[in-house]
Structure 1
């Protein structure tokens, strides 16, 4: 099964056949919404709107752990996601698609792990997006859309829900980063801990505030997010249709060698909560 997490502007699933809704309860609470499951080109797809129905969850409040764990419970091994982002580069105007391969984390108030509470896991995260999935999405972008698109780049993830100050925006631009948004973290970290491949298509909605004296407005963001919707869905649909049946990456055993707490020291309560994630390692 392939998961698709839709960001701002994408609140319904791809053109799936034989759809059904699954209400999933997780050890980390309820996900943003029931999961829509259906078939696309013979492949089973599970769709989750990150912000829930009617965009009710802020970037900080979205139940990231429940969302990722719910997809894991359903048998998802690979997640494609979408994000609405601002551009930090002149050559990436609104309505451009970017397939980032790096993240710079500036969040402050989110739980970035399934673990803790007596269980320490140190997860390597040098390459936050699955390289094979980044390459596959990039190839899909070349073939599925005429929209301007770029493969590679750094996604700066800020806390939000406020947009950047001018000083912040100018700083991130000066670092050579490409795009800025609010939802890459902790989603990418959790997908890695869940041993799921993860990559995203980011749709540019604005130039943030480094480029001119004008503010970023919600109206501008929503209008361009709506214009990006078809291109993003076309790319994701093509990526799903052409997805290899087998994974050829290290994501499927990412937890191996990362648990730094002796098995006998992990409480039964903690063990029960993370059993689906680490059962084979305990």
Structure 2
């Protein structure tokens, strides 16, 4: 799943290519992807793109139409992606349960992009709205962790609001916007914190709180810098190449050399280094037993 750094990379990539262009066509191919009906995709035809923005992990293409400002807002979910064309294929895409294509956008220059989704679990979501806050998941997003007002005290407030495992808080989009499974692993490794450390205990320890706050900013900014300027097709590989522990089970920790370990769940997993993060204690895989305290 693309997270904030990759989404920001897509925002920069699209903004450079779409801003000032006129939308010739928005063709919906997978009808289940569209979550709104009051404003149809066809109302975007003839509109001018005024910019591309990000809300957490959501992308927002702002378009000025004859009826006012409209927003094409979409979330790529776990298996979705964006495919850019310098020249959009001339063949007309047709709905098919075997096709990954969900939506095609074409500009007056013949450029454009497809939204695609692999697999059978269709989670990609597309909204056409007058204001991005009309999208329920956008309206309930927590603070952006790279915003100026995301201070150490702001993080402390989030940590103390409800006592929970810190991994869960970092992934909760209503808590902090834009961080997912991969970058929460990376942040906690940089901060030298167990993924199952309790949030209120972190908030009560000034040193640990400071490490977490610094790790969030440094990890995300470094990943955004890596993504910046890369074509959409290269962003996934750039993300994987930059991971320290996430997705690297069995490999050596780049800091201490210990083996990177994993805890698996029903539909996801996390990676961590016991030496760096848990004082050498190995966390039990929840498929087999309860978490070691």
Structure with greater Cα Rg: 2
TM-score normalized with structure 1 length: 0.27
Report 1 or 2 for greater relative contact order, CA contacts < 8 Å, sequence distance ≥ 6.
1
